Chain A
Amino acid sequence: MRIRNLRNTKGQMRVIETILASFIIVAALSFVSIFAVSPESPGYEMTDLEKMGYSALHDLDQQGLLSPLVYNPQNWSDIRTLLKITMPNDVYFNLTIYEVDGLRLNADSDSEILYGDSDTFSDARNVASLTYCLVGIPETGYDPRILVLELTRG
């Protein structure tokens, strides 16, 4: 009778041990997963968007296409077209052009270089922002422009 009782207790102990062990393992896995950088995590997404934006502006600048368009406000719609072609369809962007003293040059709704609704950016979970600068063109001489490109995925 006493031996049977002891065996019963041993069985219960094993169950409790197993439960405790599973708790510890689950806790350990959850702790590790906090640090994991999956493709869906905000950190990865922001870096990816920033890289994409930088590459697009840098490639256009290297080919000598960006400066003539930025310094001629009549061609700002062409910048939108170029960026739209360069970037994937599900990436929305908003390009703002500033003078070096901070004056925004495309403040009017007509001169906005925007792909997507303005709500897209206010509702978006991850919006990446990057800065690119240009020094000038032969017609203007040294007259820097600061381009601020905001990007988000739709």
Chain B
Amino acid sequence: MMKSSRKKRGQFVIIAVMLTAIMMVSIGALMHGAITYYKHEPWEEYSTLIGDIEINSRRLVELSLADYSNSLVEDNSTLSVYLGNWQTDLIRIYPSSGIVLESNPLSYELKNSSRVNSTTSESMARAAFTLNVTSIGLEGYYFEVATSLTLTIDSITPINETTNEIIAVVRSETGPVPNLNEENFKIDGATKTTVYPDYATINAFAYRIIYDGPISPTVEVQDQRGIRVVGFKS
């Protein structure tokens, strides 16, 4: 009787240890799942992939506007053609990611007031996108891209009989454009053009353009992105 009771106690210890082991495995698996999920999941990689598509979609809209503002004929199909190709190529570039970039043609806008003579001219493009990435479960990531270049001719002042001075403000969608020089400005019928950045004359960042030529010329600006805008002071 005593022997039997001792035997049972031995079995109980084994059962207890086994239960403890099962508990340890279960807790270990749970802890592993909880701790390593966020550590192991390449969130940064996903956000960079989305960032890559977003940056390059923006750049594509800028390229479309550059083409549109430089073309002699008004062809506003550039944006839809470029975006169509980009959507197809993305599927080829990331075949296993299930990337679908959708863009509604109704959101497309291309404007080039360079064709109209005015004191403030603007070249502008806009498009809206929806991104789905099946491999990471991303659906309906919406972003809008608007890009522009505006030229405002503040004043034209004669310095002497042949030389004039223009104060011009050039802005993009993010603010004043500071990295322009003589090569970026073209003044119709002018010679000896010199361009200086100017902070004082109108209490804002502007360009002081000194040139020999007509008093009311057409001023053309092309920024580093290739976007062109033409202005005229009447």
Contact = CB atoms under 8 A, between A and B. Distances in A.
A85 interface: no
A144 B2 CA distance: 85
B42 to A, nearest CB: 5
Nearest to A16: B10
Given A37-B36, A142-B86, A17 B44 contact: no
A13 B1 CA distance: 17
19 contacts: A13-B6, A17-B13, A24-B21, A28-B28, A29-B24, A36-B36, A43-B40, A47-B42, A50-B42, A51-B45, A51-B48, A58-B52, A67-B59, A100-B89, A100-B93, A133-B52, A135-B59, A136-B59, A136-B60
B85 interface: yes
B89 A144 contact: yes
Given A28-B25, A135-B63, A142-B86, A37 B13 contact: no
Contacts of A122: none
Interface in B1-59: 2-3, 6, 10, 13-14, 17-18, 20-22, 24-25, 28-29, 32, 36, 39-40, 42, 44-45, 48-49, 51-52, 55-56, 59
Could you tell me the dominant secondary structure of chain A's interface residues? helix
Contacts of A25: 17, 20-21, 24
Contacts of A115: none
Interface in A108-154: 130-139, 141-142, 144, 146
A1 interface: no
A55 interface: yes
Given A61-B56, A131-B93, 14 more contacts: A21-B14, A31-B25, A31-B28, A32-B32, A51-B42, A51-B44, A51-B48, A58-B55, A61-B55, A135-B56, A136-B60, A136-B63, A138-B225, A142-B63
A133 B14 contact: no
B226 interface: yes
B153 interface: no
A60 B36 CA distance: 30
Contact of A141 (B24, B48, B63): B63
B56 A133 contact: yes
A28 B24 contact: yes
A65 interface: no
Interface in B48-102: 48-49, 51-52, 55-56, 59-60, 63, 66-67, 82, 85-86, 89-90, 92-94
A31 B48 CA distance: 35
Contact of A24 (B17, B36, B89): B17
A4 B44 CA distance: 69
A18 to B, nearest CB: 9
Contact of A17 (B10, B24, B85): B10
Given A6-B3, A28-B21, A141-B63, A133 B93 contact: yes
B116 to A, nearest CB: 24
Contacts of B67: 141
